[in-house]
Structure 1
């Protein structure tokens, strides 16, 4: 007995590692980081013009690797969501994706060349992708499977209030009170302080006193018969409105597992972002060869970066968890805008670069219609596939505007 007792912690740790770092997870890590290192090694070759067939073959390979890593991110995010419950579980994924998106934008701004519109173009593309494409696909998938879907109206209303305020500061005000579409240094300091303060206050309320506003409504969970028809298990709904242990209790009991899964999630997210950087140059060359607009490249990159969250969102919709859909999509966009705007304005102040944020009238109109459609969708008594079709329709219109 004396010999076996000291070995228990080691056995527990070994078992934990095996449960988190599964063979599939290892393969995904090797694929993601191996592909990134290979592209780094082939940098001089890739810098030269490539045959069209080879260019598209490389792009296809990168998409396959990114998809494999994305499914790994989804797996870890779902484990975290089951342990922590909402909104903590989904917040881990939304903050990691939004934070890495901001890092990408900052890296471009601090790199060579002029990139005055990178933040505006990226956040606008992300807004339309999340609010129309991802939510539209989720509503169609969930609406076709379940007859009664409903989100927590208070939580959605809070998200929309934040989005209206943050996106107004990002896209509308610079063209009205700024200088040639950019904030003056004095205005930038005020906007940095106000935006960061509002976002931090939102997080404090979301994770504290108003946590219940971001959880599933009690009657929104699908019935056992609906679950059997859809092939989903009851464990898939652990992040719903059912009773859940406190976060402090979960952290005390599962701290090691949670830390390990967060590290693995980030280790799988990073290759997605790093590979998307390499893919950007290839997409520019490939789209240029077929005469597509340059803006399409940014949209495709944003779609790939948010692929893990897209998969998680559609799975949540198939399980009938519409508040989790809102937490993933609306929460991701709130985090993206709340972190990006202060970050890029700060970089602009420190480097003296102009940060052009004012949007075109067409994009402002599409964004306003999107927010109005989101309001009418999520305040309805029942969410249906038709709501999703309207969002997808609006995304197609946005795509047409890119080519105009």
Structure 2
């Protein structure tokens, strides 16, 4: 499907008012709070603005996505979310000192578990409850899962077994290889998804009336693209402002520091979760899987190269290797995901299994 021509009706006025107001308000609050100690009232406002900026960012990404069509739409959403995630990781690592050495690993692993179990499970369960059985393209989703598992193994499992450096870390050349390999594999996947086999990633059903609504005009798409950029800048700055309070809250609760990475991943992937569930309810499960697995791929395929570059100026070790517990959960995720996707059909059973694995991940993250 080619992008709509510029003769499409201008739906600029159809953009919700909140989506126009939230980005500049978040930017103003960023300016007000920058470099200041946050009192309770200002902290609440910053947290609200941060959440609003994330939601607004994904909303405007959806507008742009509607303009360019599938599967480019889900790709834009995945990349937008990953840009937020990478920015948050680098920002917190640059200001967190040695205690943040595992933040990248924890956040990326949490994103994999959230997308491959949480989002997939919710989408499968919600769609099956409404439509009983849903079909999707196994060759597309199975390929995305294969690339995801390969990337997470090369980047997060191998560091626990290498011997050239002390601890579960990579040496400089090893980290460079992991970054290049991640970027290469993600680039090949994007080429296959958008060019070579684009039809594989299109929904098998297209019967819902709302999917045929007029696409936004070029002007509306450019407005949303500009507001998306404002949201991303605001998210990065506000996250840096709130990070000391977040880490202090985790320490005060006596929770492991890995919870910080989990909270970051949950924050940036919440709008993606809503979008995936909505697509499943409209009997477009392929779009849900594109969103979930595309986010997982972008999360690791883009985060590892970015962290590899950032490590040039970041001080302290960069711990990437997973522990034994995490490796078991990852292996279980791969096995369950493979069995789910191989059939091309989903029921409530697959959704319940994925959600149970995700629940185990959440429980063990808080009580290791």
Normalised-by-shorter TM-score class:
0.7 to 0.9
How far apart, CA to CA, are the structure 2 residues paired with 1:305 and 1:133? 14
Structure 1 residues 34 and 311: CA distance shift in structure 2, 3 A: farther
Contact in 2 for aligned 1:136/1:389 (Cα 8 Å): yes
Structure 1 residues 59 and 131: CA distance shift in structure 2, 3 A: farther
Displacement of 1:123: 0.5
What does 1:17-166 correspond to in 2, within 5 Å? 18-19=12-13, 23-40=17-34, 43-46=36-39, 54=40, 61-62=45-46, 64-111=48-95, 113-114=97-98, 115-166=100-151
The aligned residue for residue 199 of structure 1 is 186
Contact in 1 for aligned 2:92/2:243 (Cα 8 Å): no
What does 1:5-404 correspond to in 2, within 5 Å? 18-19=12-13, 23-40=17-34, 43-46=36-39, 54=40, 61-62=45-46, 64-111=48-95, 113-114=97-98, 115-178=100-163, 179=165, 180-217=167-204, 220-221=205-206, 234-236=209-211, 254-349=217-312, 353-402=316-365, 403-404=367-368
Structure 1 residues 176 and 215: CA distance shift in structure 2, 3 A: same
Displacement of 1:88: 0.4
Displacement of 1:211: 0.9
Structure 1 residues 116 and 68: CA distance shift in structure 2, 3 A: closer
For structure 2, list consecutive stretches of 5 or more residues without a partner in the other structure. Answer: 1-5
Displacement of 1:313: 1.3
TM-score between both structures, scaled by the size of structure 1: 0.79
Structure 1 residues 202 and 351: CA distance shift in structure 2, 3 A: same
Structure 1 residues 280 and 143: CA distance shift in structure 2, 3 A: farther
TM-score between both structures, scaled by the size of structure 2: 0.86
How far apart, CA to CA, are the structure 1 residues paired with 2:353 and 2:212? 27
How far apart, CA to CA, are the structure 2 residues paired with 1:105 and 1:71? 18
SS in structure 1 opposite 2:97? coil
Structure 1 residues 348 and 287: CA distance shift in structure 2, 3 A: closer
For structure 1, list consecutive stretches of 5 or more residues without a partner in the other structure. Answer: 1-11, 47-53, 223-232, 240-249
How many aligned positions are there?
358
